[in-house]
Structure 1
Amino acid sequence: QAKKGPVKLTLPYIALAQNDNDTVIASKVSARVLSVKKAGERVKKGEVLVQLDDSSLKANLQAIENSIEGAKEELIATEATLKNLEAIHQRTAALLKVSGASREQYQNEEVKIAVTRAKLAGVKAKILKLQAEKTSIEDSLSYTTIKAPIDGLVSKSLVSPGDLAMPGKPLIKLAATEGTYLLVRLPGSAKAIDFAGKEYALTPLHSTFNGLNEFRADIDRYIPTGNREEVSVVVYKGEGVLLPMDTLLNRDGKSYLFLFSGKEKVKPVPVTLKASGQEGVLVDDRFAGKEIVKAKPDILLRLMGGYPVIREPIRDERGER
């Protein structure tokens, strides 16, 4: 006997596990690898993944710092020289007015001042260049300790201790343990899937692959990227009359149900399916309360030809007739 009630219909599909947070860590400097996390290790955000040899960079940094200190000392000395030359030149200018100094002396001092000012400008430029080099080395040093940008799992180590890391060379692949979603490709549309005993909403990606619409279902568990997972796409959810597939006969492009019309008689009735899934078929509410034959297709085909049927007594929920 058909009954109206809550109905959920699903169809089986294969989904692809994806995670946009997965990342490939590459080197930004040229250095030897001292240590690297092994494949399969779990890491926390901020944990060291790869340690590169920084001894050469530190030596270069020390040399640059020494050069900066030397240049600063040269700057102080040049500024003092310039100040002294300008003071002497000021006195020479005063003496020149009273014929106490020659024009040649005055001009020679001007040349010395110009040369010293040029030297001072050169020392300042040298210091700026050295400071820029220092900043560059400090930046490079910061890249010798490579830390995890996310919580994750080392899916693959691409180098070993002793290998030479080069700028742009991948060192390690890190799989995120959060943010996994299932990519589902469907010929039509759907709002949810059932997976691992739970229902997850589908979000349309507004993209297609080989003519199929793409959707994502954000899930609350870690699955390695690329894994194929069996899911059930929810094609209908609501109230209705759900019947088993064994109540339906498809013939000449039409579907039929067989309703009891007497003790040993059944009547084939054309039916339009509202939806179908693994659980059965959804039919019009007018079939609620009707007694419908459930049998294999070959038996239903015989009933279509007028064969009589023996009806089993309907049992209640306690199994009593």
Structure 2
Amino acid sequence: MKLNIHNMRNRVLTVTVLSSLVLLMAACGGKAKKDPLTEKKAELEKLKAEQKTLAEKVGTLQDEIDKLDPTSANANAKLVTIKPIGPGAFNHFIDLRGKIDAYNVANVAPRGQGGFVKAVYVKQGDQVKKGEVLLKLDDAVLRQSLTAAQQQLSGVKAQLDQAQSIYQRQQNLWKQNIGTEIQVLNAKTNMEALQSQYNAAKANISLAQEQVNTTNVISEISGVVNAVNVKVGEFFNGAQQIQVVNNNDLKVTVNVPENYIDRVKMGSTLMVTLPESNNKTISTKVNVAGKLIDPITRSFYVEGKIPVDKDIRANQMAMVRIEDYAVPDAITIPVNTLQTDDKGKFVLVAVEEKGKLIARKRPVEIGELYGDQLEVKNGLSAGENIITEGFQSLYDGQRVTLANP
């Protein structure tokens, strides 16, 4: 009996110890650690709620003070500068570097095999017309061939005249029943053979004359002689030794990055500025848009025609702005007025409430940016006054006063 009581006491003690351990573990484990991010978010929301409540209390208290002391109405207001918002044209451009090029640039070449230069009739900078002779090649051998062809023609002509006379006589005799028919036919055949020789001799003269003419090197276009890299006595073969440029037919060319392939098309506006010509600006349109992407530069080629201007030259550098986006009645703001918080992008506007000027947040949806102007697609309306200076430390509902009343 004593043994059983002893065993029961041990069992009770064991159960008691185990229960204590379970309670202790539950007490320790029940207080689980919270996620630091969750705690910080909760603390932020709490502070925002307190800030809102505090701002309301400050506003109410300030209103009460203003009623008792009107001179203090603007004492605590933040000094700001505002700008009215109004719709207007907004244009976005792609700024690139291009150059002026000529539609017609001719590297003069000989019409024959080339030859040694006997005379040069132009110099760099001369204005020339289409068909004008620029230089003369040695033509001594070709003139000898021409002289020989002319002499051959003279001999054949004499023989042809004689054959025609004989044929005429034979015909007259045959009509008088003198002679034979075969004599008439032989005279006619001889005359026709000589006529063929005469025609061939004339063709040879034309060919020889044309060969002589090829020694006169002419310009195929009208323009300005841009380069003369050949002298008398040197061999001329047309390897870019004389170049003529037509400055009256110019174009601007530019390579556009391929990421703008859907925004730059035929008809896009080009604003061309020439830094070396007193920043002269020319407006034109894209009239050629390449269909091939350069595998090295990852760009495509566009060009636009340039009007005639004596001060513009081929290969001149140009700053090119390509208009790829335009809105005629857009709302725009200075880009530095845009702010961001945890809820997104916003700006501050000055709003009159109960006879007081108050700063209010306006969440906005932004569009394109060009220069310092930012397009606002949603969130602002024409007629509102955006705070452009002094907005950095403002909060929603804070009283403001104008630096530019």
The answer to whether TM tops 0.5 is: yes
Counterpart in 2 of 1:52?
137
Quickly say closer, same or farther: Cα 1:199–1:258, change in 2 above 3 A: farther
Q: How does 1:77-226 map to 2 (within 5 A)?
A: 77-85=162-170, 110=182, 115-166=186-237, 171-186=241-256, 187=260, 188-189=263-264, 191-196=268-273, 197-210=280-293, 212=299, 214-220=301-307, 221=309, 222-225=312-315
Give the structure-1-normalised TM-score.
0.73
Alignment deviations for residues 182-212 of structure 1 (CA, whole Å, 9 cap, x no partner) = 1244412262122234341313425324275
**What is the percentage of aligned positions where both structures have the same residue?**
14
Unaligned residue ranges in structure 2 (runs of 5+): 1-82, 274-279
Structure with larger Rg: 2
Q: Is the 8 A contact 2:106 2:244 kept in 1?
A: yes
1:230 to 311, 315, 319: 319
Q: In the aligned structure 2, how far is the partner of 1:310 from the partner of 1:161?
A: 88
1:242 aligns with 2:332: yes
The Cα of 1:11 is off from its aligned counterpart by 3.2
Give, in angstroms, the shift of residue 7 of structure 1: 4.1
Aligned mate of 2:148, from 44, 63, 67: 63
Deviation track 1:246-296 (CA, whole Å, cap 9, x = no partner) reads: 1234789965433346867451512231x3322522224843332324479
Q: Is the 8 A contact 1:12 1:231 kept in 2?
A: yes
Gaps of 5+ in 1: 96-105, 316-320
> Is 1:72 matched with 2:157?
yes
2: CA distance, partners of 1:176 / 1:254: 57
Q: How much has 1:116 moved relative to structure 2?
A: 4.2
Deviation at 1:27, TM superposition (A): 0.4
| Number of the residue aligned with 1:276 | 369
Choose from 4, 11, 14 the match for 2:97. 14
Distance in 2 of aligned mates of 1:214 and 1:208: 8
- Quote the RMSD (CA, aligned, Å): 3.8
Assess, with a 3 A threshold, how the Cα gap between structure 1 residues 203 and 279 changes in structure 2: closer, same or farther: same
Q: Using the alignment, how far apart are the partners of 1:114 and 1:165 within structure 2?
A: 55
Displacement of 1:87 in angstroms is 5.3
Amino acid at match of 2:272: F
The number of equivalent residue pairs is: 293
Deviates more, 1:67-76 or 1:9-18: 9-18
Which structure shows the higher helix fraction?
A: 2
Structure 1 position 311, deviation (Å): 5.6
Give 1:245 deviation, angstroms: 2.1
- Displacement of 1:5 in angstroms is 3.4
How far residue 71 of structure 1 moved from its aligned partner, in angstroms, is 1.2
Contact 1:257–1:271 (8 Å) recurs in 2: no
Cα offset, 1:215, TM superposition: 3.4
User: Would the alpha carbon gap of residues 61 and 7 (structure 1) be closer, same or farther in structure 2, given more than 3 Å must change?
Assistant: same
The answer to whether the 8 A contact 1:185-1:209 is kept is no
- The CA deviation at 1:76 is 0.9
- Distance in structure 2 (CA, Å) of the matches to 1:50 and 1:291: 73
- Give the Cα separation in 2 of the matches to 1:94 and 1:149: 63
2:106 to 23, 31, 41: 23
**Contact 2:108-2:218 within 8 A present in 1 as well:** no
Partner SS state of residue 161, structure 1: coil
